[in-house]
């Protein structure tokens, strides 16, 4: 099969869906690889790196390359006009933002394309090496702490100096999924004292093994637990109790890293205006859930808001700020996903396979997860 790696078209996107290493791998599996000129530049991969190992360089938007491709590997979804250039039956693979994306569904239907949305990959152990949400969330959690440390008016570690001792920064992490746990680990490495809130009881042990303290969720009936490893949406009563519980913690915090999410839903609002009123000037909140409505009141995507001295950082695209490693890991996720599908130089999708079935949102133009694409459910 012929693979095409395009220049990413989304604003601010710096990642690319292949590295020279993964292109080499696809070539060794019997695929042909075309890559648009400049596709890897923002991620630190130059055209020559791809060319010397045997990939074909094509002009961005080259109609022939798009119409000949059997598989387009991307980070974010190509534009509707680019999808329209693909031949019917071809496959597009990427972080396609499927939730409530009826315009994507329409493009896939019209062009009769197959599509795999990595957001929907089941969280099963066999899928772990292909799990792009995890590889990217890990980066986001790490970078969120570095942003907070750079913006904070204090040290992170406890220091004993000739001028006296300073106490370590107090960091609260909301949500202990992949991003949250990496935020905990990074803040601990910098010497902070870390507290963590999550609704899934299973994470308590993970949090404690990283040397952080777990804030037990409020004991009320409607406690949201989990399905398929993910948290369920919390009730308003639960969130009210949780905000009350967190309010005292936040009043003593120097940094809050917000990572609480429920897939396909609005992020739980865990920090209200009243809670922000109680935080000290100089404190920093980094909200990774800002694109999903935010865990914290008043955060805005890509902006830092100063609210009475509390810095509110709306961090929407942190993986793009570490593009080389983000791309290298994402590209390996794609190899792990596609290697079993690219057998003997042929592309064969077994739609009975749990892993494929989970993320295949369209098969030759037939939409398979209509509930996700058209309702956001």
Catalytic residues: 123, 128, 131, 134, 230
Residues 34-63, interacting with ligand NAD (CB under 6 A): none
Distance CA 108, CA 130 (A): 23
Q: Is 125 in the site for ligand NAD (CB under 6 A)?
A: yes
Least distance between ligand NAD and beta carbon 289 (Å): 8
Footprint on residues 64-103 left by ligand NAD (CB under 6 A): none
Cβ distance 299 to 285 under 8 Å?
A: yes
Q: How far apart are CA 270 and CA 262, in angstroms?
A: 13
Quick one: tokens of 337? Answer: 């996903």
Q: Cα(first)–Cα(last) distance of the chain, in Å?
A: 34
60: region left, alpha or beta (phi > 0 left; psi from -120 to 50 alpha): beta
d(CA 244, CA 248): 8
Dihedral sign of CA atoms 245, 247, 253, 254 in order: positive
Dihedral of CA atoms 340, 124, 365, 16 in degrees, nearest 10, equals -70
131 binds ligand NAD (CB under 6 A): yes
If one asks whether residue 137 binds ligand NAD (CB under 6 A), the answer comes out as: yes
Site string for ligand NAD, 264-293 (x = CB under 6 A): ----x-x-----------------------
Write down the least CB distance from residue 101 to ligand NAD, Å. 18
Q: What is the DSSP letter of 127?
A: G
Among the residue ranges 10-18, 61-69, 224-232, 326-334, the one whose residues contact ligand NAD (CB under 6 A): 224-232
Contact map string, positions 175 to 194, toward ligand NAD, x by CB under 6 A = xxxxxx--------------
Residues in contact with ligand NAD by the rule CB under 6 A: 123-125, 127-128, 131, 133-134, 137, 174-180, 197-200, 203, 229-231, 234, 242, 259-263, 268, 270
């Amino acid at each position: 099969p012929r693979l095409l790696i395009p220049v990413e078209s989304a604003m601010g996107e710096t990642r690319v869906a292949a590295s020279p290493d993964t292109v080499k791998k696809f070539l060794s599996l019997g695929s042909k690889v075309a890559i648009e000129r400049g596709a890897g530049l923002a991620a630190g991969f130059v055209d020559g790196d791809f060319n010397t190992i045997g990939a074909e360089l094509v002009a961005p938007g080259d109609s022939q390359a798009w119409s000949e491709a059997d598989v387009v590997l991307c980070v974010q979804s190509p534009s509707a006009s680019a999808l329209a250039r693909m031949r019917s039956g071809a496959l597009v693979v990427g972080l396609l933002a499927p939730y409530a994306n009826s315009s994507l569904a329409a493009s896939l239907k019209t062009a009769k394309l197959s599509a795999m949305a990595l957001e929907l990959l089941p969280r099963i152990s066999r899928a772990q090496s292909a799990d792009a949400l995890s590889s990217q969330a890990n980066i986001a959690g790490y970078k969120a702490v570095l942003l907070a440390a750079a913006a904070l008016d204090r040290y992170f570690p406890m220091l004993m100096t000739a001028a006296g001792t300073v106490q370590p920064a107090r960091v609260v992490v909301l949500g202990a999924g992949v991003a949250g746990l990496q935020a905990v680990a990074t803040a601990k490495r910098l010497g902070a004292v870390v507290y963590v809130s999550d609704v899934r009881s299973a994470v308590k042990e993970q949090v404690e093994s990283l040397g952080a303290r777990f804030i037990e969720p409020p004991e009320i009936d409607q406690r949201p637990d989990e399905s398929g490893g993910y948290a369920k949406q919390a009730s308003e009563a639960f969130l009210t109790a949780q905000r009350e519980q967190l309010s005292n913690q936040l009043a003593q915090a120097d940094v809050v890293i917000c990572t609480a999410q429920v897939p396909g839903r609005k992020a739980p609002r865990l920090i209200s205006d009243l809670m922000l009123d109680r935080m000290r000037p100089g404190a920093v909140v980094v909200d990774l859930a800002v694109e999903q409505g935010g865990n914290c009141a008043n955060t805005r995507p890509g902006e830092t808001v100063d609210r009475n001295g509390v810095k509110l950082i709306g961090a929407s695209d942190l993986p793009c700020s570490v593009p080389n490693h983000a791309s290298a890991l994402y590209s390996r996720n794609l190899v792990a996903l596609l290697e079993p599908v690219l057998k003997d130089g042929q592309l064969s999708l077994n739609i009975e396979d749990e892993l494929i079935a989970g993320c295949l949102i369209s098969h030759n133009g037939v939409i398979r997860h209509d509930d996700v694409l058209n309702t956001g459910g």
